[in-house]
Amino acid sequence: MHSRDACVHCGQDWPRSYRAKGSGHVFRLCLECESLWLDGQHLGEETDLYLSEFLESQGIGWGDIEEVAAR
């Protein structure tokens, strides 16, 4: 999937690469619907994970993630 392909959930935005600052976990996030794909998950497939769930599972908040260059 090209980095500018529409999100398979909402079709309104495209998943961008982010990193959790403390742990270094890399993931892709659609800012429109907050769908989240963990590193290694195929972006063309559905995901049941959302940003709020990921942040809670990591014990972090919005300020603890940062956008990174796409790989």
pTM over 0.95, yes/no: no
DSSP string, 4-28: TSPPTTTSSS--EEEEETTT--EEE
Per-residue pLDDT of the chain (71 residues; tens, 9 = 90+): 445 889 999 999 999 999 999 999 999 999 999 999 999 999 888 899 999 999 999 999 999 999 998 76
Domain limits, the chain: 16-67
